[in-house]
């Protein structure tokens, strides 16, 4: 159990405690997961975060990793959206980790949007919640806001159709509440809310409410149609009343429970129970203040070794203290490692 | 611009093979056409379009030698007869009226090389490149047209060689299939089946080059620094994406420890042969490939600077596709043959005695289409995947006086 979770997420770091917890978790995972053990046959111990054994994010698409222990009861499988490769990552959830992850995401998000409860409107279909055995990344991301919600409403009839919004339902909530939390994958928030035709009556009511828009999932689809962050924010904020705001958070299904919202100064901050490293893709050496491959580490994932993941995202650790006042490491996300065309077949 | 034979005439060439004389008719003078290609080759030594890598460009340059250009004629029709030789032709070979070529997305040099080879037949060529890759064929054709000297060969290229880029649902696919006497299809087995299913003239030929895999067979104790260099060179160009690339190494009659020793030698040699760093995406994929292989039971190690992964294991281990992952399996000859992939194409060998008759007998009984020295795995003649496709571009007229 991570004792660090009982502190405010962006208080001053206790790195020794973090290393102790990471060491315990790593040994637990190595003992319970044969595949992880085979990946790092020579690993014994570490004195720095960079020395702990990580798993490349792509491995979760190829191998069903699971940690076997008497204390772990595995349950549903969380699947990534598979937008890039067409193959989903599979993360085995377990009640112990889920409890920690839920506490973690709530604490992090509360630091950005406050901890008072308000209705949560999700731009997705509730069908995904009822799927047996599996859970999509979209639903999981939405559910990370659940602890901050007084009520949850799924607003899409069809999760893939931005024009299937049930505006009549939102009206019922708005009649009773002054504040509203709206979550959607970034492109869905653009299509279903910012660009959509909102019925006039609903539009008028929204104008008088404080809306906190929270989105995640990345910018790939919006970049393809040349929609900038500024444009998305402006369009969203134009639909809400005074005090409305937009929060963009970064997270992976392979790091469920750890979310990285962007602060008002454009940086993402690392909570006490997590750490990040940036590595050179060629040498795997650590980089500081230079773009490189992002590695995400946490102490709250027990059901499988997804506590230490080398991602395919590019980031830069930014030195110095952020003006937003949050302690600890901060970084900026720089997109994905550029994919190069693979030219093959020497049939010549 | 230079002019070669401003009024090139249709001229017949005669070749003799097995006592049979074949007169080959082309719409241009072959020697002049070859001069034109050599002229383009000279320009290639000075200029290179940005779309090509240096290795790719160098390969085409080396392919454009006079010997390479004449080789398909020699292999298809035999030795060339000199002017004045008295033999009487028994056959006339004339190019079919049209060839359609479907190129795959991931094959870099295939388009330019097909363009060169088909241009020597003088037939009308329609080439189609995949829409999801850099169009090297179009770039190369533009380059050729910039530097090809005036004359009937250039006129032929200008008027009879077409190249376009479009997707698999484009109606031009049906159009190409319906008018070609010969269809040449490269791609996945599914793509080949799809193209072959399009309406085509009765009696027209289809040469299909679908999914293939290749292997390197190295006999125990028969490898040294030079063998390892050859292996790294042939593998590192395309990795597992190349159908002539060794997707795995079989250490014939080798023990596990020897396989580990071979792996470690490859690991040391690789960075000395491939000096340029891999692109970050590939370097990252190699980290993943190494971890996945280890998890699956392979003894995998990454090459320095993440150039690739070399693993040792056995036939029973799962082997997930990974571009730059070279796997070594020690095995008996019997097991090597028994575990050949169904779609085996090339076996590149390093053997104690490749002339030993048992290899001939073994290959004859297998599905192997090419059995060549390791270093020649990527070098083809006019027989591709067991098909005499180049000779198939011609139709043959019995001609007796």
- Selected for mutation to probe chain A from B64, B135, B288, B389 (highest A CB count within 10 Å) is B288
Confidence of residue A279 (pLDDT cuts 50, 70, 90): very high
Q: Which of residues 266-305 of B touch A (CB under 8 A)?
A: 277-285, 287-288, 291-292, 294-297, 305
User: What are the tens digits of pLDDT across the range A187-206?
Assistant: 999 999 999 999 999 999 99
pLDDT given for residue B168 in this prediction: 85
Chain A residue with CA closest to B295: the answer is A35
Q: Closest by alpha carbon to A310, among A74, A14, A6, A39?
A: A39
What is the C-alpha separation between B37 and B44, in angstroms, rounded?
Answer: 10
Q: What average pLDDT does the segment A22-31 reach?
A: 97
- Closest listed residue to residue A275, CA positions, set A30, A115, A51: A51
Could A56 and B294 be called an inter-chain contact, meaning their C-beta atoms sit closer than 8 Å? no
- Could you tell me if B171 and B24 are in contact, meaning their C-beta atoms sit under 8 angstroms apart? no
Q: Which residues contact B327 (CB under 8 A, 6 or more apart)?
A: B247, B248, B249, B293, B298, B310, B311, B312, B313, B319
Phi, psi of B99 (to 5 degrees): -125, 135
CA–CA gap between residue B394 and residue B401 (Å, rounded): 21
- pLDDT value for B167: 87
Residue A177: per-residue pLDDT? 85
Packing angle between helix B110-119 and helix B152-160, nearest 10 degrees?
A: 120
Between positions 75 and 104 of B, the ones with CB within 8 A of A are 104
H/E stretch holding A62 reads: helix A59-62
**What is the mean pLDDT, run by run of 10 residues, along chain B of 401 residues?**
37 82 92 96 96 88 93 92 76 94 81 94 94 86 97 95 92 95 90 92 90 95 96 92 92 98 98 94 97 98 98 98 96 96 95 90 93 89 75 90 69
B193: Cβ contacts below 8 Å, ≥ 6 apart: none
Helix (H) or strand (E) holding B280: helix B280-295
CA distance linking residue B371 with residue B390, whole number of Å: 20
pLDDT over 70 at A342, yes or no = no
Nearest Cα to Cα of residue A309 among A322, A323, A325, A298:
A298
Answer whether B55 touches A (CB < 8 Å).
no
Cβ contacts of B198 within 8 Å, gap of 6 or more: B173, B174, B177, B178
Domain with CATH 3.40.309.10 in chain B: 213-376
pLDDT at A83: 59
How far apart are alpha carbons B87 and B335 in whole angstroms?
51
On the question of pLDDT at A167 being above 70, the answer is yes
**Which residues are CB-neighbours of A119 under 8 A, at least 6 positions away?**
A149, A150, A151, A152, A153, A173, A177, A179, A180, A181
Interface of B with A in 236-265 (CB under 8 A): 237-245
Cα separation, A230 vs A232, in Å, equals 5
Residue of A282, A284, A336, A341 to mutate when probing chain B, most B C-beta within 10 A: A282
Q: Indicate yes or no: CB of A344 within 8 angstroms of CB of B238.
A: yes
Q: Look up the CATH superfamily of A3-336.
A: ANL, N-terminal domain (3.40.50.12780)
What is the C-alpha separation between B317 and B313, in angstroms, rounded? 7
Which of helix, strand or coil describes residue A240? coil
pLDDT at A129 over 70: no
**Matching CATH number, B213-376, of 3.90.1580.10, 3.40.309.10, 3.30.420.40, 3.50.50.60:** 3.40.309.10
Alpha helices for B19-65 (secondary structure H) = 30-46, 54-63
pLDDT of A183 > 60? The answer is: yes
Q: Which two tokens stand for residue A165?
A: 């919004």
**How far from chain centre, in Å, is Cα B335?**
28
Sequence spans of domains, chain A: 3-336
Class for domain B11-210+385-398, per CATH?
alpha beta
């Amino acid at each position: 159990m991570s004792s660090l979770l009982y502190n405010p997420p962006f208080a001053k770091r206790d790195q020794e405690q973090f290393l102790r917890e990471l060491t315990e978790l790593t040994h637990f995972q190595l003992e319970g997961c044969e595949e992880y053990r085979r990946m790092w046959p020579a690993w014994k111990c570490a004195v720095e975060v960079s020395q702990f054994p990580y798993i490349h994010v792509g491995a979760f698409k190829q191998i069903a990793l699971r940690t076997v222990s008497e204390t772990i009861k595995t349950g549903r499988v969380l699947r990534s959206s598979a937008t890039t490769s067409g193959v989903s990552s599979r993360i085995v959830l377990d009640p112990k980790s889920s409890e920690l992850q839920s506490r973690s995401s709530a604490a992090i998000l509360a630091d950005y949007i406050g901890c008072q409860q308000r209705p949560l409107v999700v731009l997705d279909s509730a069908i995904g919640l009822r799927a047996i055995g599996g859970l999509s990344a979209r639903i999981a991301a939405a559910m990370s806001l659940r602890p901050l919600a007084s009520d949850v409403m799924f607003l899409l009839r069809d999760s893939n159709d931005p024009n299937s919004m049930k505006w009549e339902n939102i009206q019922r909530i708005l009649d009773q509440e002054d504040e509203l939390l709206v979550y959607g994958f970034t492109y869905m928030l653009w299509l279903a809310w910012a660009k959509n035709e909102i019925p006039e009556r609903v539009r008028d009511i929204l104008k008088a409410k404080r809306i906190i828009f929270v989105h995640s999932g990345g910018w790939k689809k919006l970049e393809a149609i040349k929609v900038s962050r500024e444009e998305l924010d402006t369009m969203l904020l134009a639909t809400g009343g005074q005090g409305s705001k937009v929060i963009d958070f970064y997270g992976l299904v392979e790091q469920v429970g750890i979310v990285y919202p962007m602060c008002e100064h454009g940086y993402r901050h690392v909570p006490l129970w997590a750490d990040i490293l940036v590595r050179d893709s060629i040498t795997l050496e650590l980089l500081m203040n230079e773009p490189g491959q992002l590695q995400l580490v946490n102490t709250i994932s027990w059901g499988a070794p997804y506590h230490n993941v080398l991602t395919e995202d590019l980031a830069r650790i930014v030195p110095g203290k952020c003006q937003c006042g949050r302690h600890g490491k901060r970084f900026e996300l720089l997109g994905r490692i550029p994919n190069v065309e693979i030219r093959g077949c020497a049939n010549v | 611009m230079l002019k070669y034979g401003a009024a090139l005439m249709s001229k017949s060439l005669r070749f003799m093979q097995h006592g049979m004389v074949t007169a080959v008719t082309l719409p241009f003078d072959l020697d002049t056409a070859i001069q034109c290609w050599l002229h383009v080759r000279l320009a290639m030594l000075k200029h290179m379009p940005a779309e090509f890598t240096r290795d790719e460009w160098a390969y085409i340059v080396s392919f454009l030698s006079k010997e390479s250009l004449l080789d398909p004629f020699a292999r298809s029709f035999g030795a060339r007869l000199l002017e004045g030789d008295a033999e009487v032709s028994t056959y006339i070979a004339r190019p079919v009226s049209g060839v359609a070529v479907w190129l795959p997305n991931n094959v870099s040099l295939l388009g330019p090389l097909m363009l060169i080879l088909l241009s020597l037949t003088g037939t009308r060529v329609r080439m189609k490149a995949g829409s999801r890759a850099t169009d090297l064929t179009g770039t190369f054709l533009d380059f050729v047209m910039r530097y090809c000297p005036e004359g009937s060969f250039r006129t032929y290229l200008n008027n009879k060689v077409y190249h376009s880029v479009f997707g698999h649902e484009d109606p031009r696919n049906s159009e190409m299939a319906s008018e070609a006497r010969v269809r040449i299809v490269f791609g996945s087995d599914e793509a080949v089946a799809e193209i072959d299913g399009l309406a085509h003239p009765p009696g027209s030929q289809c040469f299909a080059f679908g999914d293939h895999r290749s292997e390197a067979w190295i006999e125990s104790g028969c490898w040294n620094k030079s063998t390892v260099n050859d292996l790294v060179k042939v593998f590192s160009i395309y990795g597992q994406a190349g159908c002539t690339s060794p997707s795995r190494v079989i250490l014939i009659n080798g023990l596990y420890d020897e396989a580990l020793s071979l792996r470690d030698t490859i690991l040391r040699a690789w960075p000395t042969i491939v000096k340029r760093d891999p692109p970050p995406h590939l370097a990252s994929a190699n980290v993943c490939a190494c971890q996945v292989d280890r998890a699956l039971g392979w003894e995998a190690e990454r090459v320095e600077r993440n150039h690739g992964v070399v693993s040792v294991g056995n036939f029973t281990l799962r082997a997930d596709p990974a571009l730059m992952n070279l796997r070594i399996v020690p095995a008996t000859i019997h097991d090597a043959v028994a575990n050949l992939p169904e779609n085996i194409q090339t076996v590149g060998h390093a053997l104690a005695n490749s002339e030993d008759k048992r290899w001939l007998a073994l290959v004859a009984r297998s599905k192997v289409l090419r059995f060549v020295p390791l270093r020649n795995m990527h070098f083809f003649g006019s027989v591709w995947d067991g098909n005499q496709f180049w000779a198939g571009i011609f139709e043959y007229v019995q001609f007796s006086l």
